[in-house]
Amino acid sequence: MSRNAISRLGDNPSDDICPVCKSNRYLNPSLQFLINPECYHKMCSTCVDRIFTSGPASCPVPRCGKTLRKRGFHKAFFADLKIEREVDVRKRVGAVFNRRQDEFETLLDWNNYLEEVEGLVFDIVEGDAKTRAQAEEKLKAYKEANSGEIEMNTRLGLEEGELEKRREKAEREAARQRRLAALKEEEEEKADLLKNRKEVLDRLATEDGDANAIAMQAQKVILKKSSARRNLADTQMETNKSAMDSGLTIRGLKKKEAPVVEKPYDPFGGVDLTPSRYVLQESYDSEWLGNAKRDMRHMAGGYSLQEYYARTMFEAFSGLGVFIEDEVADRGQPAPPAVGTTPAVGAIASGEEPQSKPKPQYKMESDDVF
């Protein structure tokens, strides 16, 4: 099978023989095949001339019988006529279904529309006679119903293409200008250099003075000139660019937003942990910490006495203003114990939890582990 495929691509005899008149490329090297998009049957240009010059005639291929005109014949772009046909169909359908994405409200709608169009194309290309006819009918109906919109979209598409062309042209022109400018500049620089050198030689010849000094001065002059020229060129470039920007509008580009400067990371998420009841000192005097402060063995490991200070001071004042008697008065009030009442005893006897529990929100475990 694979061998067949290869041979068909390479030297398939049907590629060289006209199916109508059986003339051969071997005998007629200028043999050219034409097709008509009515039925996509291939025949040589001689046959087309012979059969269709005198007016429309039916296709000479057996069992085809479609009426063809000479005007409809053209050279196939693709070697595979199936593809040629599909591309033609797509062109035709695309000219009718030429809606644009920005006409749709959501991406989903747009995709659904594309799928529908694709289905239609498939029906025309691959379907049998009936489905094809149906699809053609649909296409026609749609074309009639939406002729106005189709026309507008076509115009828009053309305009867009025009714009694109203009833009490309402008870009090409700009590139050409740049190239010319660069060339010109280079020439100028060369001329300058020559002139300078000549001047130096003249001065060396006419003036008396240190030859080295004169040469050095000349060098400096050259450097200054070239740098000045470069600066000038840069500014020109800038102005050119801005001019180009104002002249062209590229649609569909998203606005550029300056990146937001990132704030420094706050591990506590904005919680203020500054002490309110004491001022933490850098160092405190303490009898038993005196040694630790100086001891290399403590400090080498990265142990920070400041951490200890912060913790002790925090603990000294953490909860100073928490009055448990006031704040938790309403919690932990147990329900009245059920003593000696029958349900409680029953619960105990059956090994269940006694019912006399505190409030559910403050449930205490007198649960049995074992």
* Interface with other proteins (CB under 8 A): 271-279, 281, 284-286, 309, 311-325, 327-329, 331-334, 337, 339, 344-345, 348-349, 354, 356, 358, 364-367, 369-370
Pairing of strands 67-68, 57-58: antiparallel
To other proteins, the closest distance from the beta carbon of 364 in angstroms equals 4
To other proteins, the closest distance from the beta carbon of 289 in angstroms equals 8
Lookup: tokens for 225: 């000139």
Closer to other proteins at the Cβ: 119 or 334?
334
To other proteins, the closest distance from the beta carbon of 270 in angstroms equals 10
CB 278 within 8 A of CB 316: yes
Closer to other proteins at the Cβ: 1 or 273?
273
Tell me the Ramachandran region of residue 127: left when phi exceeds 0, alpha when psi lies from -120 to 50, beta otherwise.
beta
Closer to other proteins at the Cβ: 302 or 319?
319
Work out the burial of residue 93: count CB atoms within 10 Å of its CB; fewer than 13 is exposed, 13-18 middle, 19 or more buried: buried
To other proteins, the closest distance from the beta carbon of 326 in angstroms equals 9
Closer to other proteins at the Cβ: 28 or 281?
281
What's the first-to-final CA gap in the chain, in angstroms? 78
Closer to other proteins at the Cβ: 240 or 355?
355
Length of the chain: 370
To other proteins, the closest distance from the beta carbon of 370 in angstroms equals 4
Q: How far is CA 82 from CA 7, 78, 197, 211, in A?
A: 18, 9, 72, 84
Measured at the CA of 15, the angle between CA 10 and CA 16, to 5 degrees, comes to 110
Closer to other proteins at the Cβ: 55 or 270?
270
To other proteins, the closest distance from the beta carbon of 367 in angstroms equals 7
Measured at the CA of 301, the angle between CA 296 and CA 264, to 5 degrees, comes to 125
H-only helix segments in 127-210:
129-145, 147-206
Q: Which amino acid is at 369?
A: V
CA-based torsion, 196, 199, 203, 205: positive or negative: positive
For residues 21 and 43, give the distance between their C-alpha atoms in angstroms, rounded to a whole number. Answer: 8
CB 18 within 8 A of CB 48: no
Closer to other proteins at the Cβ: 206 or 291?
291
To other proteins, the closest distance from the beta carbon of 5 in angstroms equals 45
Closer to other proteins at the Cβ: 258 or 320?
320
Closer to other proteins at the Cβ: 98 or 356?
356
Nearest Cα to Cα of residue 318 among 358, 352, 275: 275
Q: Which residue has the tokens 């250099």?
A: 193
To other proteins, the closest distance from the beta carbon of 311 in angstroms equals 7
To other proteins, the closest distance from the beta carbon of 286 in angstroms equals 6
For residues 303 and 359, give the distance between their C-alpha atoms in angstroms, rounded to a whole number. Answer: 46
